[in-house]
Amino acid sequence: MKKLFWVIIGISSLSLVACEKKDATSGGDSKKAKSSVKLKNETDSIAYAIGAQIGNSMVSEDMKELDPALIEAGIKDMLANKEAAISEKEAPVLMQNYMQKKMADMPKKNQEKGDKFLAENKAKKGIITTPSGLQYEVVKMGTGPKPTITDSVNVVYEGKLLSGKVFDSSKEENREVGFRLGNVIKGWTEGVQLMPEGSTFIFYVPAALAYGETGAAPVIGPNEVLTFEVQLKSVSK
């Protein structure tokens, strides 16, 4: 049980530190086949929940190269009180090295995913690309004044990763958020200035105009392209 616990902790830690998400084109995969597993009691449900948590982490962190049969074998060996094929001293070193390699590969991987997405998105109808590389589409065009970089604005917004995961939002509560336009990421500073008051735009923000190579842990990884739906409610000079 102790070994199983540390496997789960190790994978969960990788989820928090690595911040590497599902493929940029997956959109969250809403059409999943339903599991055929039958859960008879609470103990069954707990066992399945542990396996599902491990599997979900492996998918979201791009760890699908790991053989689930070997993960199962490791769990069974520990539950049967067998001597592990890998020593207790060696196991954390292997996990640490694996995590470090994932983290080292992440900026390049995210950059490639982001570049691919932006290149494909650019060709879609209604998408406008600015000289900086910012992409946007107009959902609703307002008729009010456009803000300048020194203005303050009130907005309702929702930010997503390319996987479709919402990482920040005031949209659910329809809550207005105010800020000075010069104090946010470059993609917002540029994009919101294109919006007449009363507009709703969707922005596709390259990493260079968002959080760059450092990201914003634990949710936004290095070189991540972000999408924002922004409703510009008011402009204050």
And the tokens for 2? 């102790």
- Same structural domain for residues 19 and 102? yes
Confidence tier at 19 by pLDDT (50, 70, 90): very low
Under 8 Å CB-to-CB from 64, ≥6 apart: which residues?
A: 58
The whole model's pTM is what?
Answer: 0.69
Total residues found in the chain within this entry: 237
Give 161-174 pLDDT, tens digit per residue. Answer: 998 889 999 998 99
- Same structural domain for residues 131 and 223? yes
Give 74-122 pLDDT, tens digit per residue. Answer: 889 888 999 889 988 998 899 889 888 877 888 999 999 999 999 999 9
Average pLDDT of the residues in 113-140? 97
The CB density around residue 221, as the number of other CB atoms within 10 Å, is: 24
Confidence tier at 187 by pLDDT (50, 70, 90): very high
- Same structural domain for residues 197 and 167? yes
Is residue 114, in this structure, part of any structural domain at all?
Answer: no
- Same structural domain for residues 210 and 177? yes
Give 25-61 pLDDT, tens digit per residue. Answer: 334 444 678 889 999 999 999 989 988 888 887 876 7
Structural domain containing residue 56? 2-109
Is residue 228, in this structure, part of any structural domain at all?
Answer: yes
Q: CATH no. for residue 196?
A: 3.10.50.40
Looking at residue 20, what is its pLDDT?
39
131 or 33: whose pLDDT is higher?
131
Which of residues 109, 137, 154 is at a domain's end? Answer: 109
- Same structural domain for residues 195 and 228? yes
Looking at residue 8, what is its pLDDT?
53
Average pLDDT of the residues in 210-220? 90
Give the Cα separation of 115 and 39 in Å (integer). 43
The CA–CA distances, whole Å, from 28 to 22, 31, 169 equal: 8, 9, 17
Is residue 131, in this structure, part of any structural domain at all?
Answer: yes
Average pLDDT of the residues in 8-19? 46
Is residue 221, in this structure, part of any structural domain at all?
Answer: yes
* Number of structural domains found in the chain: 2
Is residue 115, in this structure, part of any structural domain at all?
Answer: no
Average pLDDT of the residues in 112-134? 97
- Per 3-state DSSP, what percentage of the chain is helix, strand, and coil (rounded to 5)? 40, 20, 40
Looking at residue 121, what is its pLDDT?
97
- Same structural domain for residues 138 and 221? yes
Which of residues 48, 80, 109 is at a domain's end? Answer: 109
Is residue 116, in this structure, part of any structural domain at all?
Answer: no
Average pLDDT of the residues in 136-140? 98
